[in-house]
Structure 1
């Protein structure tokens, strides 16, 4: 099975703060430049656990973009990418609080350039899987993402979609998001995103209730809550599992949701039970929390 991960690739400028952000003054911290982007992160974590992963996206005509492609190759990811001659490779400022929680300031850059004909639909084979970052549906790359999902469905692939982020989802509207998502997709969301998509607020009933609210028909949903309980539902059956405590404090939660999706999808490809998929998702998310940035470090 090949996992095609379509969507964003970023250079993350990660600032790990030693204390609260001092607005209008200095806030000491440690700054790192690392690879990022939800789709690229998921592809990297899939490769880390031994799966065949192909990233589909766009970079700028710059050293940062070439460095990102080389980084993904070193992690074992195959890459299909467009080079945008006018926009730089996407960049995201990530502020990481001492608790590990992160706040992101993204500039999508070349990610906006992805077009329908950049989708390697001729490589889609029955039994493969397409994972689409929700950011691709929220930006100018929407047509490419919609084309990819339609082509994947015709070719016999399973499809999953990440919900991206609560604030832009709120601007888009839940109804528009669901209009774009295939009826039989697996949707990944955290509590805040699920609250937006369910129209039920941020914490209505916890992750099991939110997962049931997002699932139904032939659609499945996974709702995560950081170090809390993650839940899966297909609208009829449900499963929930709490994360194991980290043996040391979280350093950086950037990319933890992307890693969780990779762990869940890899287990699902082995026909594992939902409880096992949730367990493996938690395990990769914990690994991401111990890593600066959203991707595994090269071995």
Structure 2
């Protein structure tokens, strides 16, 4: 076992751990475009992206997810360990393949994407066994980054589970198509929600024109805390006593996939270091801008 895996984790990252297959073109694209570009395969998934970013910020994350006992899975586990992530608690399935995500990006942003997280969904609550079998101290009292690639039933279970009742939950929907899976955390007033403007609108069943309006709307609906982004427009941290809004740095967009995960990880890392709310938001926006510009290594 590596030294990385033997360390007590600073934070649990629960959700998708898979391979990202990303096609990128320097040209603006639309539906039906056929352009030259580059195709890469990298470790990805919301939980893993957050974990990798947290490791870059000096934390020791552990992953709770499902990865197949196939060639792709073995390779992915090795790649995670090389990036400073604790893989001891990952559920390895003999009959489920390793998940993957495929996206096409142009100079004008994300064109289309397909997330195949069926194995994670099929594994269900097996990925949470380390919280109940003594592998991890229970109830867990540390920070948890949770993504919406889990099923609605499992997310609802997490929102109410006594095993995580004292945890600092940080929750992201993974994509607008899965935004409604965060409803249990709004209804129970648990955790900090990390959403973009579209996802906030879906959760509140109302469109918003700004991140400040969206954060206020989520709080009014029952959320304990909300962090709302809007691309290059101002982002807002909303909590019971204040709304903090800040404009991100303007940069050339070199990549899109993983930017939200980097933002979330940077914000969590800043707060765990004791940064005040305004400084933590500033740190997160700066980190996301560096990532989008291509200056941050993956």
TM-score w.r.t. length of structure 1? 0.85
Instruction: Determine which of 178, 181, 197 is the counterpart of 2:203.
Output: 197
Map Cα deviations across residues 199-226 of structure 1 (whole Å, 9 max, x no partner): 122xx23001101111256700000112
Which segment is superposed worse, 56-65 or 103-112? 103-112
Counterpart among 126, 136, 152 of residue 150 in structure 2: 136
CA drift at 1:9? 1.2
Asked whether the 8 Å contact 1:132–1:161 carries over to 2, the reply is yes
Measured at CA, do residues 112 and 29 of structure 1 come closer, stay the same or move farther in structure 2, by a change above 3 Å?
Answer: same
1:230 is matched with 235
User: Which of 269, 275, 278 is the aligned partner of 2:278?
Assistant: 275
Q: For CA contacts below 8 A with separation 6 or more, give which structure has more relative contact order.
A: 1
- Alignment: residue pair count: 282
User: 1:261 and 2:275 equivalent?
Assistant: no
CA distance in 1, matches of 2:162, 2:195: 24
Question: Aligned-pair distance for 1:52?
Answer: 1.7
- Give CA-to-partner distance per residue, 1:47-97, whole Å, 9 cap, x none: 110112111101122222122211111111112211222232111111111
1:43 to 48, 51, 73: 51
Alignment equivalent of 1:107, drawn from 116, 134, 151: 116
SS of residue paired to 1:184: coil
Is the CA contact (8 Å cut-off) linking 2:117 and 2:149 kept in structure 1? no
CA–CA separation in structure 2 for the residues paired with 1:17 and 1:198: 35
Question: 10, 24, 39: which one pairs with 1:16?
Answer: 24
2: CA distance, partners of 1:56 / 1:143: 13
Aligned position for 2:3: none
Q: Secondary structure at the match of 1:64?
A: helix
Secondary structure, in 3 states, of the residue corresponding to 1:244?
Answer: coil
Contact 2:55 2:85 in 1 (8 A): yes
With over 3 angstroms needed to count, the CA separation of the structure-2 counterparts of 1:24 and 1:158, relative to structure 1, is closer
Aligned to 1:167: 177
Mapping 1:91-102, distance limit 5 Å: 91-101=100-110
**Structure 2 segments unaligned to the other structure (5+ residues):** 1-8
Indicate the residue corresponding to 1:68 in structure 2: 76
Corresponding residue SS for 1:250: coil
CA distance in 1, matches of 2:273, 2:113: 34
How much has 1:130 moved relative to structure 2?
A: 1.2
